[in-house]
Structure 1
């Protein structure tokens, strides 16, 4: 039960802080179905909770991306699999990027969390660069633009609560992304 509560608090924090980085810890506890007092039994403060959130997001996204990469040898299928893994990570993927590109973050290659972020995103970047060099995607698109485009689609898809079914949303997201990069 301890691990379940801890995990629920981390998952709730990822959702709450992705929507509002400055949200009160009470919102996190409420989302997790517990109290702030219980939250503090597991985490001393917001910083400790954020460290745990970041570690969870790194792990989940890295595993999803690496698993997706292994599903195919064909470059475009591999890209689609990795794209779908990013969609599956959803809020975790979007929030992880926000942490490393917003909120006053200064990316430092010697920082442990920055190294882990680079490791989490490196397979995606290496594959995208390879596709661009092979002429399979538009060579004029910078990696910065491709990354921003990808994460905006992830966020838009994640924010689509209800309405379309998940499979249809993933198909629409892939269609938008693939056309946007010139496939």
Structure 2
């Protein structure tokens, strides 16, 4: 991605997280470019949103793969992936809100979807390994645990945005809640 295009995308992510209804003029001003320059890269708001989505997927992949690589202990990997999911989700929460609020259909799956499927498969393998080693409950299916995991990320992001929970405690609370819900045996 060209430097100016990347600057516009990064600025759009920051601006839309602050104000989902911000217009393209605001994005252009904050990126230090003219509206005309913005439109040289993105014909409309939807195209810019899709570029933000692609950026999100690329950055989340990096963070999640780093989380897996952070330890050889699958339980520590699961905890690190939860934290990476929270970090990614809180940075890009505006995308889900935008697609839901404006009824915009998300783009069709592309090559990044394959990457996301690989990451999800790796997650399921970690959970299966933890169950095989009897480190988490076998009474829940990996699909159910994944649903709990996804819900915990969403709950944590919502709590973070509400401001009711201290930022320093939020990840600790998320891991405590999630680990107890899946019967982590320590």
Query: Is the Cα–Cα contact under 8 Å of residues 50 and 107 in structure 2 kept in the other structure?
Result: no
Query: Is the Cα–Cα contact under 8 Å of residues 65 and 85 in structure 1 kept in the other structure?
Result: yes
Q: Which moved more, 1:169-178 or 1:5-14?
A: 5-14
Structure with max Cα Rg:
2
Q: Which moved more, 1:86-95 or 1:167-176?
A: 86-95
Please name the residue that 1:140 is paired with.
140
Question: Over residues 57-111 of structure 1, what are the superposed CA-to-partner deviations in whole Å (9 max), with x where a residue is unaligned?
Answer: 1111111111111111112111111112222323356567779999545976xx4
Please name the residue that 2:73 is paired with.
74
Hey, what's the Cα distance between the residues in 2 that align with 1:30 and 1:132? 52
Please name the residue that 1:152 is paired with.
154
The number of aligned residues is 178
Matched, 1:177 2:172: no
Query: Is the Cα–Cα contact under 8 Å of residues 10 and 52 in structure 1 kept in the other structure?
Result: yes
* Aligned pairs for 1:59-98 within 5 A: 59-92=58-91, 94=93
Shift of 1:54: 2.2
Query: Is the Cα–Cα contact under 8 Å of residues 9 and 29 in structure 1 kept in the other structure?
Result: yes
Question: Over residues 117-156 of structure 1, what are the superposed CA-to-partner deviations in whole Å (9 max), with x where a residue is unaligned?
Answer: 3234332233234334544334325155224313313422
- Relative to the length of structure 1, the TM-score reads 0.69
Tell me: CA distance 1:116–1:128, structure 2 relative to 1, closer, same or farther (3 Å). Answer: same
Tell me: CA distance 1:150–1:97, structure 2 relative to 1, closer, same or farther (3 Å). Answer: farther
Which runs of 5 or more residues in structure 2 are unaligned? none
Query: Is the Cα–Cα contact under 8 Å of residues 94 and 151 in structure 1 kept in the other structure?
Result: no
